[in-house]
Amino acid sequence: MEEFTKGAAENLRTAVELMPTLILLVTAVGMLSASGALTAFSELAKPIISRLGFPAEALPLAVIRPISGSGAAAMFDSILSRVPPDSYEGRVCAVLMGSTETTFYTIAVYYAAVRIKAELPVFVTSLTADMAGFIFSALTVRLFY
Amino acid sequence: MLDIVITVIFILSVAYSIPAAKVGEVSAAAVTSCADAVELTLNLAGNMALWGGFLRVAQKCGFTDIVNKLSGKVLRPLFPGLAPDGAAMKAISMNVTANLLGLGNAATPLGICAVREIVREENAKSTTRNIAMLILLNTASIQLIPVTVAAIRAKYGSVSPWDCTLPIIANSAAALFIGILAVTAVFGRRKANVGISGGAAAADLRNSYACGSKES
């Protein structure tokens, strides 16, 4: 009991320290989604992407996935309401959704918790892995089905 | 860098909303999102308190030693400069295990504990590399049971909602492998140049009590 409350108290303090960063990040992401800029960007990139064999349906999901977790879940839901879940496109979206995470949120929270500024290298390495995940998702689905 | 990212996002959304005639939506989103953020932090605070307390109890009764022993062979080579049986490695092993089991609510608090322990334990030379590796392990998110994805697939009448499990694991593993290569490429050569920018804050943190490792 005593050990538990000690650990809990320390973590509560950290949570309070995280709040300003999270407010800034979540507000920015909320505004970005509302502005429709992400959708416009996906529309622009669609022709290039579909030529590479990546389904156009999955692109908006790939764009929003590293930025917003709840946004990506809502997007995945709406894609599957249009595309059959067992189709090629549906499966690419499922693999994409399951194999990546909200990178910006993770970076923001972890760095804020130790009061260190996140520098460029950490964005480069994490986003490289995300990009690889997006490209591989189309290949993986072709390989498995 | 994060401040630049956030600034760009703000400018982009405001700039795009004007020709797209969505100024109203964007300002409404600003108001609701910042309230959402407080709710999100409160949820996170509850989870952090719960799992921070759990981690301390687990450490006292030796549970984290067992997890660390089991996962050590795979995880240790990824984190050079950390003591094999130190508090940081133990927290990392707990964080990775929570991710594997798909315990999203536990993974973030345990990850925060891990990142604090890394900073407390290490010399500044390899700290940024190890934090980048920890973030990578969390964002590549190797998950044994993709609950959320399967649930949404089942909702729209998938014949076998779980048949995406293997591809998801394979895809995460491939992305993680590329990420590990990227971390090695970016940090491997110029370790000495990549110091901590908030050195004083880190030293201050090192002296404070963090996530149940230090006797108080």
Digit-coded pLDDT (tens) for A84-140 = 888 888 899 999 888 888 888 889 889 888 888 888 888 899 989 988 988 888 888
Q: What is the pLDDT of residues B24-82, one digit of tens each?
A: 888 888 888 888 888 888 888 888 888 888 888 888 888 888 888 888 888 888 888 88
Choose between B16 and B177: higher pLDDT. B177
- Is residue B145 scored above 50 in pLDDT? yes
Q: How far is A20 from chain B (nearest CA, A)?
A: 9
Give the torsion sign (CA, B122, B128, B131, B137).
negative
Q: How far is A66 from chain B (nearest CA, A)?
A: 9
The predicted pLDDT at position B93 comes to 92
Residue B86 CA to residue A49 CA, distance in Å, equals 46
Interface pTM, i.e. ipTM: 0.86
CB neighbours of residue B191 within 10 Å: 14
Domain that holds residue A80: 2-144
Subunit contact A97:B148, Cβ cutoff 8 A = yes
- Confidence at B201, pLDDT banded by 50, 70, 90: low
- Is residue B193 scored above 50 in pLDDT? no
Best to test chain B binding among A64, A86, A99 (most B CBs inside 10 Å): A99
Best to test chain A binding among B59, B149, B166 (most A CBs inside 10 Å): B149
Half-sphere exposure (CA, 13 Å, Cβ side) for B137? Answer: 27
- Confidence at B136, pLDDT banded by 50, 70, 90: very high
Mean pLDDT of chain A: 85
Subunit contact B197:A117, Cβ cutoff 8 A = yes
Task: Give the mean pLDDT of B143-158.
Answer: 85
For residue A61, give Cα distances in angstroms to A57, A98, B157: 8, 12, 20
The predicted pLDDT at position B125 comes to 64
How many Cβ pairs within 8 Å bridge chains A and B?
A: 318
- Is residue B189 scored above 60 in pLDDT? no
**A-chain residues within 8 Å CB-CB of B112?**
11, 14, 109-110, 113
Q: CB-CB: which of B49, B166, B201 is closest to A8?
A: B49
B151 contact A CB<8A: no
Q: CB-CB: which of A73, A85, A129 is closest to B139?
A: A129
Q: How many domains does chain A have?
A: 1
- Residue listed under structure tokens 């949404």: B152
Considering only alpha carbons, which residue of chain B is nearest residue A101?
Answer: B139
Do residues B20 and A17 make contact, with C-beta atoms less than 8 angstroms apart?
no
The predicted pLDDT at position B134 comes to 92
